[in-house]
């Protein structure tokens, strides 16, 4: 088992866990964390795919895309947390109105 295959496998597992958490939980903070885990899995798969067979140097473009993606993910997480706080301030709960129990 090569390290690239192991990274890809762990990335797929992280993606699956994040997708499961995104579907299962109603609380907005848990959904934000699930999206971050899902994104980490995608980044790990992209790094694994950057490994070239037979080359000593991996491809730099996927690594640059992952670094850019990390920056975007941090800013998107900050925006999502600010919106979650706004929803919590307005409604008193950290769930979306259509997800609340009647």
pLDDT at 23: 93
Q: Which pair of structure tokens corresponds to residue 10? A: 């762990």
Report the CATH number that the domain containing residue 13 is assigned in CATH: 1.10.287.3510
Kindly report, residue by residue over 11-68, the tens digit of the pLDDT: 999 999 999 999 999 899 999 999 999 999 999 999 888 876 666 777 788 889 999 9
Judged against a pLDDT cut of 80, whether residue 75 lies above it is answered with yes
**In total, how many domains does the chain have?**
1
Q: What is the full DSSP assignment across 16-62?
A: HHHHHHHHH--SHHHHHHHHHHHHHHHHHHHHHHTPPTT-SS--HHH
CB 17 within 8 A of CB 39: no
Range of the domain at 73: 3-99
Length of the chain: 102
pLDDT at 32: 96
pLDDT at 13: 97
């Amino acid at each position: 088992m090569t390290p690239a295959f192991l990274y890809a496998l762990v990335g797929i597992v992280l993606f699956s866990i994040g997708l499961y958490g995104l579907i299962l939980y109603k609380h907005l903070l848990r959904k934000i964390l699930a999206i971050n885990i899902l994104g980490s899995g995608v980044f790990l798969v992209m790094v694994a795919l950057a490994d070239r067979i037979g080359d000593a140097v991996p491809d730099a473009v996927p690594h640059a895309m992952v670094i850019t993606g990390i920056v975007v993910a941090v800013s998107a997480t900050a925006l999502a947390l600010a919106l979650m706080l706004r929803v919590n301030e307005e409604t008193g709960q950290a769930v979306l109105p259509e997800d609340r129990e009647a």
